Amino acid sequence: MNAGALRAFIVKEFRHILRDRQTLTILLLMPLVQVVLFGFALRSDVRDVRLAVVDPTPDYASTALRARFAATDRFRVVATLPTTALLEPLFRRGEADAALVFEPDFGARLGRSEPARLLLAVDASDPNTGTTVQNYARAVIAAQETEWATARGGVRIATDTRMRFNPTLESVNLFVPGLIALVLTLVSAMMTAISLSREKERGTMEVLLVSPLRPVHIIIGKVLPYLALAFANVVTALLAAWAVFQVPFRGSVALLLAASLVYSMVSLAIGVFVAARTPSQRGAMLAAMLGTLLPSTLLSGMIFPIASMPAPLQVLSSIVPARWFIVVARGIMLKGVGVPQLWQELAVLSFMTLAFMALAVRSFKPRLG
Amino acid sequence: MSAISARGLTKRFGRFTAVDQITFDVAAGEVFGFLGANGAGKTTAMKMLVGLLEPTEGEGHVGGFDVRGQRDSIRRNIGYMSQRFSLYGDLTVRENIQLYATIYGLSTAQIVERSTGLLGTLGLSSHANELVGRLPLGWKQKLAFSVALVHQPKIVFLDEPTGGVDPITRRQFWEMIYAAATQGTTVFVTTHYMDEAEYCDRISIMVDGRIAALGTPGELKERFGARSVDDVFVRLARPAAIPASA
């Protein structure tokens, strides 16, 4: 075996990929489309909350708080009413999502350091949205409270409802790491499985196995081009996330890229393993989908929090590589932490890479019968 | 020394015996036809010889190398054309030639020389940069055969090389086989076209995993009192209740 043969094999793989324009276009655009779609459509945060205000006796305090609500990009004041009686019809007709009700003499009470009461009513017909709206409103009220307390030097206890690491509760920030995992799984595991099983199906694998090429060279030759493609995809997904949604990068981009490479290698190894164990392209595709894509989406904590899964599923999720990668990616991107905090997850991922690679090479015997 | 030898070569899959104690020798430079109905065990036997399957029992040698322990040496010294078309349709004619030539360790100078020669012989010089997938099947098969011989192996294994091609191309294909044999290449070819068997120096006929007859086409016809190899084959295969047309 000479190095030239391996190089020729890798060049051949790149040609396969580059000449299948349709697939290549889909693969290159996929991260972009997914980030944009998930970012816009699959968000659990709420925007444009229609707020009704009931303010019987407008004064400096109630006006300031109303102004603060109006100034956020979350709330839009749709009605200012003198009495609560007019509020009910608005809720019923679905013209308001939340209401802020000041008690009479709100400002005066505050001035006398008496408790000033404020009612926050939220349309909770969708409980998740309701809770989110409530949290937003609390945050706005708390901010106002803090300001008054500071200005007067009075000691007031302001409830701290800040959402750490994701102060504005942007769900897109949480999705992007998961999306990277998803795209990498798709390109690495599925495309490798398809490309390897295609050679089996078309009979070229037989000829390769009879040639002086060793199975390990065939695997390297198959895997390297897809590793490059996966890397391009990570960069696209990150750029899209940054350009379209201003997703933060608090930690080291180099570490994130390195972790993505490790995760790609696990997925590639799984792809090789799947292809070695399935007889046809179609079988390989289905097996790759069931074995990698579904768990990476459902069991990885990308969409459903692992903490709220039943115990058996939590155990199962720990053998899903995506779960560990998502923790790493979220840590680096959102918290800005590095190897000292993430070494355990990185170690699990590296171990999985080695284990699946060994499994892949083992199952990829030069035998076909 | 024979180019290929099998001694009691056997392959079982579970309780099914696909190849049952076959013994034969192929001399260097011989065109050896390996005949049998579908499912008779031809391909399994061939896969054991090229190292794609481990024999259950028996001995096999190819080019003097043991099929069990010296698979790597065998690989460098044989050419192989599988039953299915084995070139890449999305690579050009020249890229396919270069790929296999490089895998077999030819130098750049050798590759240039062989590709030019090969393209000239096949009359494909003006199509060198076309995708193989766009060539007619007959051309593809001839190209696949030439590519299997690009590293000038001592022995070449052809698994039903003429399946699905037209009679004229089949004739041309056999001319190529003869040309290779004339240059000293041993050709081991499976087929179920009985007219092709007449072109072989010697043939063996496999029935149910065993070699039912072995000899020159002339000898076999005489022994079975048949007019053609086709008749011989039908006579041997019929007890196995396999349709003779298979």
pLDDT range class, residue A142, cuts 50, 70, 90: confident
> Which residue from A318, A328, A329 is spatially nearest to A352, judged by alpha carbons?
A318
Q: Is B105 on the interface with A (CB under 8 A)?
A: yes
Q: Is B70 on the interface with A (CB under 8 A)?
A: no
CA distance A156 to B143: 88
Per DSSP, the three-state class of A33 is: helix
Q: Are A225 and A192 in contact (CB under 8 A)?
A: no
Chain A positions touching chain B (beta carbons under 8 Å):
2, 4-5, 7-9, 12, 15-16, 19-20, 202-204, 206-213, 366-369
Task: Using the structure block, give the residue that is written with the tokens 């089996």.
Answer: A200
Strands B4-13 and B57-62: antiparallel
For chain A, what are the domain ranges? 3-42+169-363, 49-151
What pLDDT is recorded for position A160? 37
Q: Which residue has the higher pLDDT, B83 or A71?
A: A71
The number of beta carbons lying within 10 Å of the beta carbon of residue B162 is 22
What pLDDT is recorded for position A79? 87
Residue A115 has pLDDT above 90, yes or no: no
Residue A106 has pLDDT above 90, yes or no: no
Alpha helices by DSSP H, listed for chain B, are 42-50, 71-77, 93-103, 108-122, 137-148, 167-182, 194-197, 217-223, 229-237
Q: For residue B82, give both structure tokens.
A: 């599988």
Instruction: Name the closest residue on chain B to residue A204, using Cα atoms.
Output: B86
B57–chain A nearest CA distance, Å: 15
Residue from A198, A199, A206, A216 to probe the interface with B (highest B Cβ count within 10 Å): A206
Q: Are A157 and A134 in contact (CB under 8 A)?
A: no
Q: Which residues of A fall within a CB distance of 8 Å from B51?
A: 209-210, 366
Average pLDDT value for residue range A155-165: 39
Q: Which residue has the higher pLDDT, A363 or A8?
A: A8
Q: Which CATH number fits domain A49-151: 3.40.920.10, 3.40.1710.10, 1.10.287.70, 3.10.105.10?
A: 3.40.1710.10
Task: Using the structure block, give the residue that is written with the tokens 């609560």.
Answer: A84
- Please give the share of chain A, as a percent, with pLDDT higher than 90: 13
- In what side-by-side order are the strands of the sheet with B202-207? B78-81, B155-159, B186-191, B31-36, B202-207, B210-215
Q: Supply φ then ψ for residue B2, to 5 degrees.
A: -80, 150
Tens digits of residue pLDDT in B190-203? 988 888 888 899 99
Which of A51-55, A152-156, B43-47, B74-78 shows the lowest per-residue confidence on average (mean pLDDT)? A152-156
pLDDT averaged over chain A? 82
Q: For residue A313, give both structure tokens.
A: 């599923």
Global ipTM? 0.86
Residue B156 has pLDDT above 90, yes or no: yes
Residue A128 has pLDDT above 80, yes or no: no
> Which residue from A181, A199, A240 is spatially nearest to A12, judged by alpha carbons?
A199
Q: Which residue has the higher pLDDT, B25 or A34?
A: B25
A33–chain B nearest CA distance, Å: 28
